[in-house]
Amino acid sequence: MSYTLAELAERFGLEVVGAGDTRIDGVCTLSPGVPGRIGFLANPRYRAALAQTRAGAVVVGRRDAAGLTGPGLVAKDPYRAFAQVARLFDRNRDFGAGIHASACVDPGATIGEGVHVGPQAVVEAGADIGAGSYIGPACIVGSGAKIGAGSRLEARVYIHAGVQLGLRCQVQPGAVIGSRGFGNVMGPGGWEEVPQLGSVVVGDDVEIGANTTIDRGAIDDTVIANGVRLDNLIMIAHNCRIGEHTAIAACTGIAGSTTVGARCMIGGAVGINGHIQIADDVVVLGRAMVTQSLTEKGVYGSGLPIAPAREWRKTVARVRRLGKLEDRVRRVEQTVGIKTQDEGDDGQEQL
Q: Which is nearer to a second copy, 58 or 288 (CB)?
A: 288
CA dihedral 121, 126, 127, 128 (to 10 degrees): 130
Whole-number Å distance between alpha carbons of 49 and 241: 43
Whole-number Å distance between alpha carbons of 225 and 210: 19
- What's the CA angle centered on 160, arms 126 and 238, to 5 degrees? 135
Closest contact distance (angstroms) between CB of 89 and a second copy is 6
Q: Which is nearer to a second copy, 44 or 195 (CB)?
A: 195
Which entry of 160, 238, 245, 275 is annotated as an active-site residue?
A: 238
Whole-number Å distance between alpha carbons of 268 and 253: 9
Closest contact distance (angstroms) between CB of 289 and a second copy is 5
- Please, how many CA atoms are within 13 Å of residue 42, restricted to the half-sphere of its CB? 11
Can 100 be counted among the known catalytic residues? Answer: no
Whole-number Å distance between alpha carbons of 4 and 335: 81
Q: Which is nearer to a second copy, 20 or 250 (CB)?
A: 250
Whole-number Å distance between alpha carbons of 124 and 116: 15
Q: Which is nearer to a second copy, 20 or 300 (CB)?
A: 300
Closest contact distance (angstroms) between CB of 216 and a second copy is 9
* Cβ 350 vs Cβ 292: under 8 Å: yes
* Cβ 81 vs Cβ 99: under 8 Å: no
Closest contact distance (angstroms) between CB of 338 and a second copy is 6
* Cβ 224 vs Cβ 242: under 8 Å: yes
Q: Which is nearer to a second copy, 20 or 286 (CB)?
A: 286
Closest contact distance (angstroms) between CB of 158 and a second copy is 4
What residues are annotated to the active site? 238
